Amino acid sequence: MYRIGIDLGGTKLAVGLADPSGAILSEVVSHDHVGCDENGVLDRIVRNVDSALARQGVKKSEISGVGVLFPGHVRWPDGVTLTTSNLPGFKGFPFRASLQNRLGLPVVVDNDANGQTIGEFHHGAGKGSRNMVFLTVSTGVGGGIVFDGKLYRGATGTAGEFGHMIVDVDGPAVCTCGNRGCLMSIVSGLALRETYRRTMVRFEQEGKPALLPTGCTDLRELNGQQLSAGVLEGNEVCFSVTKEFGTFIGIGLYNIFQMLNPDRIVLGGGLLNLPEPFFGTALSTLFDKAGMMMYDRLDIRKGELGGNAGIVGAISLLEP
């Protein structure tokens, strides 16, 4: 039987069709769900599913199940979406039941980071571990927890929301949740422009050049690729922002180590592509703060699934 994986994000909707071995046979990606209400998003999911099946000539009767990754809190196992920072609506929305009715297929819905966690654990950088934590840094910050080989979801399915770990309670950054100093409010695509603006103001106060990276003429359009390019071309503001990101990710990793004591942490998400000093600063911050409290050096790895993490993670939800 074939399986379908759906990766629903704030800007991208990807649907993949996988064969019984898990190999992705076809993938349909679109972006026109942005700004749609719940039914509009479902319309586009169904359209993309139909397109993925048509490309391979596969019938719905040959599909064993559909896995969906959602960018926000999901009540497990009934698949009701609770909150999301990246899409309008979806508060208390019966996502699983609604999509199941439309497709006429069994559907499983979970938080996107949980799905990516299972994907990396079974098929990526988590293979061989028993107690693994996955931390993803992209538009937002999320994560997942595997205890003794099984995904830990918590009482209502919202465990692993490391983006709302408060790491700078007196800092200037306010999160989308309303709290001050959440990790996601400092280190994420959502936080990038505001963090860069504050850094430029500080540079100006110190009498240092406060420049945008080459190719960016408006701070409102700044993205991670431009930040990376700025670091490589020697832009000191870009370097400072990247180091700050690394420092706070390191603080987050330290807190994860102290609270959960995993044997491995896997890092994923687009911002992991930032050049040094990001990754090195994150690791040095973690190990410096842990000091002698870390008896065996924690294994930190970058995710291996890359751009396929969402689809593979969604399909992995359907595995035993």
Token pair listed for 5: 């994986």
Task: Tell me the C-alpha to C-alpha distance, in Å, between residue 289 and each of 1, 103, 134, 247, 297.
Answer: 49, 50, 20, 11, 13
Confidence category of residue 94, pLDDT binned at 50, 70, 90: very high
Task: Tell me the C-alpha to C-alpha distance, in Å, between residue 249 and each of 75, 252, 287, 299, 310.
Answer: 27, 5, 12, 15, 22
Q: Same CATH fold, 128-302 and 2-119+308-316?
A: yes
Contact at 8 Å (CB) between 257 and 292? no
Distance in angstroms (rounded) separating the CA atoms of residues 70 and 64: 20
State the distance between the two ends of the chain, measured CA to CA, in whole angstroms.
15
Confidence category of residue 10, pLDDT binned at 50, 70, 90: confident
**Counts for the chain of helices (H) and strands (E), in that order:** 9, 13
Task: Tell me which residue has tokens 């990101």.
Answer: 245
The identity of residue 46, as a single letter, is: V
Q: Please say if the pLDDT value at position 320 is more than 80.
A: no
Q: Please say if the pLDDT value at position 156 is more than 90.
A: no
Cis before 262 (ω within 30): no
Q: Please say if the pLDDT value at position 228 is more than 80.
A: yes
Q: Please say if the pLDDT value at position 34 is more than 80.
A: yes
Residue 196 backbone phi and psi in degrees, to 5:
-65, -40
Which residues, 6+ apart, have CB-to-CB distance to 113 below 8 Å?
A: 134, 136, 142, 143, 144, 160
Confidence category of residue 138, pLDDT binned at 50, 70, 90: confident
Sheet (strand 72-75) strand order: 72-75, 80-84, 93-94
Nearest to 238 by CA among 226, 221, 250: 226
The pLDDT of residue 307 is 80
Range 134-162 average pLDDT? 92
Domain ranges of the chain: 2-119+308-316, 128-302
The pLDDT of residue 184 is 94
**Looking at domain 2-119+308-316, what is its CATH homologous superfamily?**
ATPase, nucleotide binding domain (3.30.420.40)
pLDDT in tens, 231-240: 999 999 999 9
Nearest to 302 by CA among 69, 120, 118: 120
Q: Say which CATH topology domain 128-302 has.
A: Nucleotidyltransferase; domain 5 (3.30.420)
The pLDDT of residue 121 is 96
Contact at 8 Å (CB) between 300 and 251? no
pLDDT in tens, 175-223: 988 999 999 999 999 999 999 999 999 999 999 999 999 999 999 999 9
Contact at 8 Å (CB) between 220 and 193? yes
Nearest to 135 by CA among 292, 254, 288, 307: 254
Nearest to 14 by CA among 311, 320, 289: 311
Range 162-171 average pLDDT? 94
Distance in angstroms (rounded) separating the CA atoms of residues 237 and 157: 39
Task: Tell me the C-alpha to C-alpha distance, in Å, between residue 282 and each of 37, 200, 238.
Answer: 38, 22, 16
The pLDDT of residue 272 is 87
Confidence category of residue 306, pLDDT binned at 50, 70, 90: confident
Distance in angstroms (rounded) separating the CA atoms of residues 261 and 255: 9
What does pLDDT average to over the chain? 94
